[in-house]
Structure 1
Amino acid sequence: MKTYQSFFLLACASLFAMGIVPTAWGQTSSTEIVITGNPLGREQTTAPASAMGRSDLLERGQSTVGETLNGLPGVSSTYFGPNASRPIIRGLDGDRIRVLNNSAASADVSALSYDHAVPLDVLSTERIEVLRGSAALQYGGSAVGGVVNVIDNRIPREALSGVSGKAQLQAGTGNDERSAAGLVEAGNERWAVHVDGFDRRAGDVRVPVSLACDQTGETRYARRICNSASQSQGGAIGASTFWADGYLGASVNSYQSDYGTVAEDRVTIGMKTTRYALEGQVRHLPGVWDSVKARVSHTDYQHTEFDGGKPGTVFASQAQDLRVEARHRMLAGWQGVLGAQVESSRFSAVGDEAFAPFSRTRSQALFVHEELPTAWGQVNAGVRWESVQVQSLGNPALARFEVGTRDFTPLSLAAGAAYKLTSAWALTGNAAMSQRAPKDYELFANGPHLATHAWEVGNSSLGLEKSNSLDLGLDWKSGPQRMTVTAFASQFAHYIGLMNTGEMREGLPVQGYEGVKARFQGLEVNGRQRLWHGPSTLDLDWRADTVRATNSSTGEPLPRIAPLRLGSTLAYAQGPWSAKLGADWHAAQHRVPTGSVATGAYTLVNASVSYRQKLDATVLHWFVRLDNLTDQLAYSATSILTSTAFGKSPLPGRSLKLGVQASF
C-alpha cells in the first residue's frame, strides 16, 4: 500500500509540475495515441507497423490478443489453446514482446507461462497497433522484438459533444460462443465520461478429430478440445476534464476470466485484475517545450489454478507504472520527445507448483526520440538508458529458491531513415543495438512448470541480453494499390533461452536458463492490387512471411518458430456490402531442435460478409464469418503444446460466427 501511495503522490507532483491547471475552457484539439516508431504523430514512419481498427477487430477479432493478431506480417501466436495466446513477432516471444495498454505497461504474468492469458479483450478495444523490429526501444529491452499497443478510450482524450455509444452481440458455432459488449460516452467541451462492459462465454472448441478427455475419472471421446471452455467479463468507468490546451482524466477497469488450460483436462484458471489509471497532457507551452504528457497506473492481478475444482497455486502481482513525455519544438531542424519511465512490481506464487520465488523488480529509464524531416524523407534516432534491480525474496513455504539481488544498466540505441525515391516509391531502414535485463524467473526459477512440462532452473549469474538488429524496407503506393517488402536480421551475442540439461528431477526433464549466441533473419511481404473498379471494387490482398532462427552456439534451430506462410484474400465491396474470401498456407516446419515435434503443412480458408445499415442516427454493422471452411486438421508450430502435449490442442475446426454492432 505504501508503494501505491508513493506512486500516486509522485504522479500528482508530475502533473502539477506540468502545469495542468485549467485556465481557459474550450474545445480541445484532436489527439491520437501513436506507438513507438513515430511518437510525434507524423503519418510517415520508418518502422514496420500494422494496425487493426474497429471494423477489423469486429470481423476478425478472437478471444485472445495473440490469435487476433496472428497472420499480420511477421506476427504469429503462442497458442496455448483458445484461451491463452500471446503475440510472437519475428520469432521472438515472451518478455521480448511488450504488450501495452494505451501506451502504458500492461501488468500481468502472461510472459511468465504460456498458459497465462493476457487480461485484455478485443470486445472493449478501439484499435490495436503493432510495431515490429528495432524502433521500439523507447519501451525498453523487453520490446526488442516489438510492441503491441491495445488502445481504448477509457480515459477520453478529446472533448465530446452529446451522447454516443455502441453495442455488440455475437454468437459462434465452433465454440458455442455468446458475447455481448457495450459502451456509452457523454460530454461537452469541458468534460467527458466513458462507461463500458463486456461478457464473453464459450464452450469447448470444435476440432476436426476426436480427442480423449478425462475430467471425471472416466475417459470420453469428443470432437472438442478438452477443457477449452471459458467465460470472461469486465468493464470500466473513466472521466476527463478539458481546457483549451490540455486534459486530465482517470479510469478504473476490471477484468475477470475463468478458463480451462487444455494441457490438463481438470485444471482451470480463475483470473482477476483491476487497473487504476491517471493521465494528463498540457499543450502549447511557452519556450522550447511544446507539450508534456504523463500517465500513471496501478494494477492488482491474481489468478488461482484449480485442479478438479480444488484451489492450488496462486499467482499474484502488484505493479505501478509512471511515464512522462515532453515534446520539444524544432531545434536545428530536429523535433523530438524526451521521456522518463518508472516501474515497480511485486510477484508471488504460493503453492506446490510455484516454480518462481517471491520477487520485487524496480526499473527507472530515460529515453530520447528525435526526428529530422528532410526534402528527401526523414531521419530519426533514439536512445534509452535503464537501471533495473531484480530481487528474489525466496518463498516461506519452499526452501529451494535462492535469495539475492541483481542490478543491471541496459543501454539501447536506434536510428532509422526513410528515403523517397519517387512520389510512389520509398526506401526505409532501421538499425538498433538493444540490451535487456533478465527477468526474475530467468534468474531465480527452481521448480516444476507444467506448461513447459519441465523442471525450470534459473541462472542468477546471467548478464544482459544483447542484440544488434537491422531491417530494410521498400514501399510502393499508388491510389488504393500498395506493396511493402521488409527484410530483417538480428544477431544476439547473449540470447537468454531455456535449454535442456539432460537431467531429470521428480519425473520431469530439467531445463535451465542460459545465454547463447543466436541469429534471426527473415522476410515480410504484403500488398494490395486493385482488380476491378466501378460501382463495385474488387481487390486482391496478398501476404507472405518467413523467419529462420538459429542457436549459433550449437547450430540447432531455435524452438517454436513459424514456418513459411503465404496468403491471399479477394475483397469485394459495393455500397453497404462487402465480402472476403481468403486462404493462408502454412508450410511444414521440420526445422526444429532436438526434443521438439515437427508439424505438417496446412491451408486455412476463411470467408466473411458484412453489411452496414443506417437507421436514422443509428448504424448497424452486420457480419458473418466462416473460419477454417474446409475443416482442416492442423497443429501450430509456434505452440509449446505441439511438443509437450501433441494431439491435445489442434487449431480450431470449422466455425461460423454471426454478429451485429450498433453505433449511435
Structure 2
Amino acid sequence: MTTTSAFKNTYRFKALLLTTVLASQNAYAAELGAPPHENELEEIIVSGAFEGRKVGETILGSTVLRQEEILRQLSGSIGETLRRQPGISSTFFGPGASRPIIRGLGGDRIRVLDNGIGSIDASSTSPDHAVAVEPALAERIEILRGTAMLVYGSSAAGGVVNVIDNRIPNSVPEDGFEGAVRYGYTTVDEGHELSGSFNALIADTGSAQVVLHGDISYRDTNDYDIPGFAESARLRALEEAEGGEEEEGEEEAFGTVENSATETTAGSGGVGFIFENGFFGFNIRQLDSLYGVPGAHHHEEGEEEEEGEEEEEVVRIDLDQTRYDFNGELRGDFGLFSKAKFRFGYSDYTHTELEGDEVGTVFSNEGYEARADFVENHSGNWGGSTGFQLRSRDFSAIGAEAFVPPTDSTQFGIYTVKEYTSGPWLYEFGGRYENTSYDVTNQNVERSFDGFSASVGAGYDISEESFFGVTLFRTERAPSTEELFSNGPHLATNAFEVGDPNLGLETALGLEATFSHSTDDFSFIANVYYTSYDDFIYEVATSGEEDGLPIFEFRANDAQIYGFEAKTELKIGTYDTEMFDDVDIHIDGQIDLIKADLDRGGNDNIPRLPPLTFLVGLEANASLFDFRTELEFAGSQNNVSDVELPTDSYAFWNVYLTFHPFENSNYSFELRGSNLNDATGRQHASFLKDVAPLPGRNIRASFRAQF
C-alpha cells in the first residue's frame, strides 16, 4: 500500500464517520451534481457523527451543495431547490410547500434538519405544509442518501437533508466583519426576493471572542405562469367522461396556476462565543409565510353550496414559527473522547389554514430536540462516535380539517458507531436503540415502540483512483402519528384518512453497493441499492366514502424498493480565446431510476413513485464568468396505483450565466433561464400533479455582493 493510501485510511479513521448508513459511494467524490473541480473534491461533511469525512472518502451516499450551487438552483422551497439532484424528487404542493423525496421515500421517512436539529414543524404531516427552513440563507446543504437513522432516528429511515446557515457563529470573521446581500427577480411569477446576513466581532475578552449574527430574507411572488391548461389532459378527459360540466361563466384555468402566490419573511439574531478549544452560542429566529394552495377548490366536492354562493373561497396557509437554538462544541482530551458537541432547538409553530378570510383549521406544533455527539480518541486502527438524541412534540389540530387528534410524542435514541482500518480496507459497523411513545390526549390512547437498528459495511481502495464499497443494514421504524391516529377529512390530498392504531414497527433489510473512479479530468460514480420491507406502511384507497371524500387507509404490507444512481463528468480541456483566458470546459451527465412494489396482489404499485430522470450539461468556467446549459428530463410514469393517473414525460432546457465583474468574485450578476422551451412538466410525486404543473418559462435576474 502506498503512503498516500495509508494516509487516506488514517484520515477516514480519524474522521469517525458514522458507520452505517446504507452506504453508498465513496465516489460521491465529485459530489453528485457539481463539476469535478479540485476544491469540490475536498468538501468535508459536517453533519452529526459524519463530521470531518471527505465526501470522496466515505461509503455513505452523500452530496454537499456549496453556496454557489444553492444560489444557482435556488427556489422558494427546499424541495424545489434540491429537485435536480440525483435520486431526489419533491412533493411540490405549489411554490409555497415542497418537501424533498429521496429514492422514492418522503414524509416521516425523510428528516429535514436545520443546522443538525429537526425543523420542528408540521411538514411531515401533510404535503401542503411547508418546511420551516429558508434555503435562501443556506451556506451549504448536505444530503445523506439512504438511511441515516442510526444517527438521526427512525424519521431518517430514507435519508437526511441538513440545511446549514451558521446562524450561530462558530468562527471569527476576517477583519472582524463579513456580510452579504442578494436581490433577485423572476419573470414567471413577477417575484421579488431580498436577503442579507452579517457576522461581526463585537468583543474580545482574551479568553473568548464574541461574534454577533443577524440575517433577514423576504420573498413575494404572484401566481405563476404555465404554458397550457392547469389541469392535465387526462384529468379533463376523465371529468368529461364522468359527465362533469363547467358552471356558467366558469373558465378552465389556462396560462396561470391560480392561488399559487406566496409571501415569506424570515429573520434571526444570534451570538457566538469562540474559544481556543470550542464555542457555544444561541439564536432566535422568526419565520412568517403566507401562501396559496393551488387547486384547493377541487377539494370541496360533496359539500352543499349555499343558495346564491358565487364561488368557493380559495385556501391559503398562514405559517408562523418562533425558534430558539443553542449550539456548543468542546475539543480536548476527555479520556475516551476527544470532542463533545451539543445541540438544542425549541420551536413554537402555528399553521393556520384560511378559507377566504375565515379560519378553517389551526395546526399547532410545540416541541424541542436535543442531541449530543461524542467523538472518541484515536486508538490504533479503531475509531468511533457515540451519541444520544431526545425529541418531544405536542401536536394539535383544531377545525374542519383536524384529521389527526392532539398527540404528545416523545422519542429517545442512543447510538454508537465504530470503524476499523487495515491497509486499503475500511470496515464500519454500528447500532441504535430508540424508544418512541405516543399519547393521544383526548382519547386515553397510548402506544410505545422499541426499535433496534444496525449496519455493517466494508470499503476497499482498489487503487488511488478507484473505490468499491458495500453495506448491509437492518432498521426498524416506528409508525408516525398520522399513520396511527388519522381519522378525518384531509382536503389537501382529497381524502378522508384513516390510520391504524395497531400498526407495528416497519422493518427494512437492505444492501447497497457503490463503485467510483475519479481522476483530475474524469469521474464516474454508480450506486445500486435494494431494500426489502416487512410491514411497509402505506396509504391506499378503499371503496368507501366519507364526507364526500374517498376513504384512504394506512396499512402495512411487505414491499421492495430498488434502483440505481450514476453520474459521470469529463473535463474536455482548458482554452484561451480573444476575450477570455483559461476557460475550463466540462460535460456531465447523471441518471437515476427507482422501482418499487407491494406484495399484496393485484395492482401492487406504490403511489407517486418518481420516474426515470436524467440530466446532461455543458459548463464553461473562467475568472470573469461561469456558464452552464443543461437538458433536464423526467420520463413518463405508467406504473401507478389504483387512484392515480399516469404522467407524461417532459424535458426542460435550462441555462445559467454568472458574471464576476472586475475579476472580483465578491460581486456577481446572474441570469438563469429555466424551462426555456416552455414545456409542460408534471411532478409525478406531487398530489397536485394533475392540477398544478411545474412553472413555465422563467428568467431570473439577481445580484449578490459579499463584503
> 1:446: Cα distance to partner?
0.4
Q: Which residue of 2 aligns with 1:38?
A: 50
Q: Which residue of 2 aligns with 1:662?
A: 705
Which consecutive unaligned segments of at least 5 residues does structure 2 have? 1-42, 232-245, 298-313, 576-581
Distance 1:526 1:612 in 2: 29
Q: Tell me, yes or no, if structure 1 residue 416 matches structure 2 residue 449.
A: no
Cα deviation, 1:558-602, whole Å, max 9, x if unaligned, reads: 011111112101001122211111002211110111111101111
Equivalent residue for 2:674, pick from 627, 630, 634: 627
CA contact (8 A) 2:513 2:528 kept: yes
Q: Which residue of 2 aligns with 1:68?
A: 81
Distance 2:660 2:149 in 1: 37
1:306-317 aligned within 5 A: 306-317=354-365
Q: Which residue of 2 aligns with 1:21?
A: none
> 1:136: Cα distance to partner?
4.4
Distance 1:128 1:73 in 2: 14
1:207-606 aligned within 5 A: 207-211=226-230, 219=251, 221-265=253-297, 266-394=314-442, 402-534=443-575, 535-554=582-601, 556-606=604-654
Equivalent residue for 2:210, pick from 185, 191, 195: 191
Cα deviation, 1:482-537, whole Å, max 9, x if unaligned, reads: 11100011111111111222111121111111111110000100121112223211
Distance 1:455 1:292 in 2: 47
Distance 1:60 1:506 in 2: 41
Equivalent residue for 1:178, pick from 179, 189, 192: 192
Distance 2:83 2:661 in 1: 30
CA contact (8 A) 2:102 2:159 kept: yes
Q: 1:501 to 1:305 in 2, by over 3 A?
A: same
Distance 1:37 1:156 in 2: 20
Aligned amino acid, residue 506 of structure 2? E
SS at match of 1:157: coil
Distance 2:386 2:471 in 1: 20
CA contact (8 A) 2:557 2:598 kept: yes
TM-score if structure 1 supplies the norm length?
0.91
Aligned amino acid, residue 508 of structure 2? S
Q: Which residue of 2 aligns with 1:6?
A: none
Q: 1:92 to 1:190 in 2, by over 3 A?
A: same
Aligned amino acid, residue 227 of structure 2? P
> 1:42: Cα distance to partner?
4.6
Cα deviation, 1:598-631, whole Å, max 9, x if unaligned, reads: 0111111100100113588x82111100000100
CA contact (8 A) 1:313 1:349 kept: yes
**How many residues are aligned here?**
621
Cα deviation, 1:451-506, whole Å, max 9, x if unaligned, reads: 22111111111001111121111111101421110001111111111122211112
Higher strand proportion? 1
SS at match of 1:111: coil
Aligned amino acid, residue 473 of structure 1? T
TM-score if structure 2 supplies the norm length?
0.85
Equivalent residue for 1:114, pick from 104, 127, 143: 127
Q: 1:272 to 1:135 in 2, by over 3 A?
A: closer
> 1:319: Cα distance to partner?
0.7
Equivalent residue for 1:58, pick from 48, 60, 71: 71
Q: Which residue of 2 aligns with 1:84?
A: 97
Aligned amino acid, residue 687 of structure 2? I
Q: Which residue of 1 aligns with 2:171?
A: 158
Q: 1:135 to 1:507 in 2, by over 3 A?
A: closer
SS at match of 2:610: coil
CA contact (8 A) 1:134 1:432 kept: no
Distance 2:417 2:522 in 1: 31
SS at match of 1:370: strand
Distance 1:239 1:481 in 2: 43
Aligned amino acid, residue 314 of structure 1? V
SS at match of 1:80: coil
> 1:263: Cα distance to partner?
2.4
> 1:54: Cα distance to partner?
0.5
> 1:169: Cα distance to partner?
0.4
> 1:554: Cα distance to partner?
2.7
Distance 1:459 1:220 in 2: 39
Q: Tell me, yes or no, if structure 1 residue 144 matches structure 2 residue 157.
A: yes
Distance 2:334 2:489 in 1: 58
Distance 1:423 1:594 in 2: 50
> 1:57: Cα distance to partner?
1.2
SS at match of 1:68: helix
Q: 1:562 to 1:320 in 2, by over 3 A?
A: same
> 1:372: Cα distance to partner?
2.0
Aligned amino acid, residue 404 of structure 1? V
SS at match of 2:441: strand
Q: Which residue of 1 aligns with 2:137?
A: 124
Q: 1:332 to 1:604 in 2, by over 3 A?
A: same
Q: Tell me, yes or no, if structure 1 residue 205 matches structure 2 residue 205.
A: no
Q: 1:157 to 1:521 in 2, by over 3 A?
A: same
Q: 1:257 to 1:60 in 2, by over 3 A?
A: same
Q: Which residue of 2 aligns with 1:26?
A: none
SS at match of 1:285: strand
> 1:244: Cα distance to partner?
1.5
> 1:221: Cα distance to partner?
4.3
Aligned amino acid, residue 595 of structure 1? V
> 1:218: Cα distance to partner?
6.0
Does 553-562 or 97-106 show the bigger shift? 553-562
Distance 1:58 1:577 in 2: 15
CA contact (8 A) 1:365 1:384 kept: yes
> 1:134: Cα distance to partner?
3.2
Distance 2:265 2:504 in 1: 41
CA contact (8 A) 2:322 2:348 kept: yes
CA RMSD, Structure 1 to Structure 2 (Å): 2.0
Distance 2:552 2:229 in 1: 32
Distance 1:640 1:514 in 2: 19
CA contact (8 A) 2:197 2:214 kept: yes
Distance 1:172 1:100 in 2: 28
Distance 1:66 1:565 in 2: 16
Cα deviation, 1:172-200, whole Å, max 9, x if unaligned, reads: 00111101000111116612111000000
Q: Which residue of 1 aligns with 2:236?
A: none
Distance 1:601 1:321 in 2: 41
| Greater relative contact order (CA < 8 Å, ≥ 6 in sequence) | 2
Aligned amino acid, residue 508 of structure 1? L
Does 42-51 or 149-158 show the bigger shift? 42-51
